[in-house]
Amino acid sequence: MGQILSLKFFYDDKEYYSLLRVKEKDNTKEYHITVMNGDLESRLYGNHVIKEAEGLLSVELPEDDEVAKIKLQISDELSKYLNMKMVVLSYKLPA
């Protein structure tokens, strides 16, 4: 079994926990997020992967602001835990 990390994060002034399963893929790592809260987990569905390549965390944010906020909070905690810089990619189209 691969490595699993447990991270605490804050969203809307509440404390939550997530598990991140680490997968090795083609010289990169992927962190697959599972939020230990049913509502937040279902909102994150389809946007639950953070990638690590060349010493950076690459975070793709979805268009949905609330989902992006959840993923960004978890990514920030992962960045601190790994002591690794984070690059944020946003696919939100300008209004």
- In angstroms, rounded to a whole number, what is the distance separating the alpha carbons of residues 61 and 70? 10
The dihedrals phi and psi of 51, each to the nearest 5 degrees, come to: -110, 150
Q: pLDDT tens digit string along 2-15?
A: 799 999 999 999 99
Contact criterion met (CB below 8 Å) for 50 and 59:
yes
Token readout for 81 is: 């835990």
Q: What pLDDT score was predicted for residue 1?
A: 61
Neighbouring-strand partners of residue 11: 14
How many CB atoms within 10 Å of residue 20? 22
In this prediction, residues 69-76 reach a mean pLDDT of: 96
Q: pLDDT tens digit string along 17-72?
A: 999 999 998 888 999 999 999 999 999 999 999 999 888 999 999 989 999 999 99
Contact criterion met (CB below 8 Å) for 91 and 63:
yes
Q: What pLDDT score was predicted for residue 71?
A: 96
- In angstroms, rounded to a whole number, what is the distance separating the alpha carbons of residues 35 and 44? 8
Closest C-alpha to 75, from 92, 95, 50:
50
